[in-house]
Structure 1
Amino acid sequence: MARRALPLVAALALAGCANQPPEMPASWPARLQQVLPADVLLLGEQHDAAEHQRLQREAVQWLAARGTLAAVVMEMAEQGGSTAGLPRGATEAQAQAALNWQDKAWPWAKYGPVVMAAVEAGVPVLGGNLPRSQMRATMGQAQWDAHLPAPALQRQYTEIRDGHCGLLPEAQIAPMARIQIARDASMAQTATAALQPGKTVLLIAGAGHVWRSLGVPTHLGGGVKAQVVVARAGGAPATTHADADLLAPTPALPPRDACAELREQWKAAPRQP
């Protein structure tokens, strides 16, 4: 998805320096201690930033070594997938099968090391995303329109409109927002079901899914302590203070015209009958 840290939602506008949380000091992942303890630790990524998947793997290893990692919930696998029944010595093929991993959408070469770090530590990895089979129906479910306050919903519409480079017909904006909100609800439900006293569920997703005012945190119950960390490639827009408790800056990515790429992809895509 063009100009996005996730497939459906565009990055937030650049906030003034005074409104940004302090940036992550050099030592990672020990600096996660700044936002712990937490029932759910949401770690947002930019999908095309390989450095962000490295941060995820190291966070899994660090939390598991402390004995405080309850589970890892991933946007990259659908709800219902789980490695809970696998032994620590399970193969990558077994882990992929357990999660019904879709390599075309989420390259295993990028996310496999994150999954296997948890499997090798004896920590379950859980698919959190809304199953693709439910997405078409979700587009017509108007009840999702009432989840966010009106200003936040309008902001969601803007993020989707901008995230698709203005190429989406206006009539598709609200249905796409419903999918986004339902996906966040699915991940929140999975994380909540995995809670353990005194431990942390690590939720890994695109940055827009973890934003406090729009994403998964809006679906968590008031009794769940959630902390948000957003990995941010050097040239990417920053989140506002209200949306993240901590930023993890990483080197800037090479420049690219994501909107031009999206236009070419859509031009080449086969027309639906």
Structure 2
Amino acid sequence: MLVFKTKKELSDHISTLPKINNLGLVPTMGALHTGHTSLVQKAINENQTVVVSIFVNPTQFDNKEDLAKYPDTFDADLNLLSSISEDILIFSPSADEVYNHEIKAKKYNFEGLDTVMEGAFRDDHFNGVGTIVEALLLLVKPDRAYFGEKDFQQLQIIRKLVKQQNIPVEIIGCPIVRETNGLAMSSRNERLSKQLRQKASFIYHTLLSAKEKFGTENANYVIDWVKEQFNEQEDLELEYIEITDVDTLSPITRKNEKLKYRAFIAVYADGVRLIDNIAL
């Protein structure tokens, strides 16, 4: 398994691949889990060559403490990836290498996709995401790039990005992978105690109930019901619950049978921020 630390090394190697070779990209920030490996496996199934980036992107963190606490499990990540395939190409650069010694995010106009939910609570987060994803896509030039639907808002913003920047890549959204109790898999889950990790399954089970209620009730009723459920939870603090149009991410005003909707949630569990969503 080849590990590249610089953009030139990776670019030079990619240039030696046959032109008929389909190339897949899986961007990650490391601390890999089964959710990541499902993306990698799908990429392997659909492409001759797969690049996995492992890079904790500083410009998408609005909280320096959150950045400092992000797990560093590089050796374990390499072992996990090598157990899937020894042919995966790993790109693991430094921040200075990625940003050419000027660690600063670009500014984008995502036409409102970035101002709700995560964007409302995390300043400049999606400018940071857009900056690193655009840089990786332009460097690797993949045919397909794979992202998990746990970060569904991010997925929609990346689709907007490639359209705006006219980047010739197919963005593949992959289903959320969950722990046995229903909790959406996340690198942040490792920061939870065993007891709280089990209790956090309440997030997903509440979403399931909200989905059922959305079939007969209006959105405001469902949102208020979710808030009431979390008011009764001592260890789980609800940050937001939103029901939006899937394409525009605009909060629902009135149900339209021609549109698709999704519920989004963010919850703090003993200071650890967890997000999830569900199609309605």
TM-score by length of 2: 0.40
The answer to which structure has the higher strand fraction is 2
TM-score by length of 1: 0.41
Higher relative contact order (CA 8 A, sep 6+): 1
Structure number with greater Rg is 2
